[in-house]
A and B are shown apart, each in its own frame.
Chain A
Amino acid sequence: EDQVTQSPEALRLQEGESSSLNCSYTVSGLRGLFWYRQDPGKGPEFLFTLYSAGEEKEKERLKATLTKKESFLHITAPKPEDSATYLCAENKLIFGTGTRLQVFP
């Protein structure tokens, strides 16, 4: 059964404390891994698409990487405004439950 699992479920960071979020998948024939950010009371906002193992994409303090089994979202020197829930999904539209990130000043 195709599955997407995210960890940790929640993460609390001090401002400037870098960390990584994990998204592992068991989808056969992956053709795209997507990262989204969701703020409370809002719909998810698209961040990145990764298509092949070894691919990396960056946006401000965020960098997404992809291997054959998992993807990481690295957050470098986070700020309080990076606080949100981060979701990953694969091309068959199966989503993980997300990682709720809180960054404290």
Chain B
Amino acid sequence: ETGVTQTPRHLVMGMTNKKSLKCEQHLGHNAMYWYKQSAKKPLELMFVYSLEERVENNSVPSRFSPECPNSSHLFLHLHTLQPEDSALYLCASSQDYRQFGYEQYFGPGTRLTVT
């Protein structure tokens, strides 16, 4: 595997379910990110991890819970979601995390549908 991988690619869940999204990067990067992409809206940054520590949490509802066990893996745990949470969830990584920024490498995303 190369680059950034995400599983599953598609997920349909009910509002009372609990599920997890998984992301793995094979680039040796130190920073990982979760984004939400909805139609007609810009990418919304959800969480940032640098060296397994959360460095940003952009007012995301508690029904989204991230976990970063090591610098190569990132999870997004989902529970009691709402229909408006249906979107494409993208994981990304970058060499490092600094104020001046590094280019990011994205996974293919998980298309989430909440019924």
* B residues adjacent to A (C-beta < 8 A): 4, 33, 40-43, 45, 48, 90, 92, 99-101, 103-109
Contact = CB atoms under 8 A, between A and B. Distances in A.
5 contacts: A4-B42, A42-B108, A87-B43, A93-B48, A93-B101
A91 interface: yes
B103 A34 contact: yes
Nearest to A46: B103
Query: What's the dominant secondary structure at chain B's contact region?
Result: loop
A26 B108 CA distance: 29
Contact of B108 (A41, A51, A93): A41
A87 B45 CA distance: 14
A42 B105 contact: no
A32 B92 CA distance: 17
B42 A95 contact: yes
Interface residues of A, number: 24
Interface in A24-55: 31-32, 34, 36, 41-46, 49, 51
B100 A32 contact: yes
Interface of A: 4, 31-32, 34, 36, 41-46, 49, 51, 87, 89-98
B23 to A, nearest CB: 11
B101 A34 contact: yes
Given A31-B99, A94-B45, A96-B42, 6 more contacts: A34-B101, A42-B109, A43-B92, A44-B43, A92-B101, A97-B41
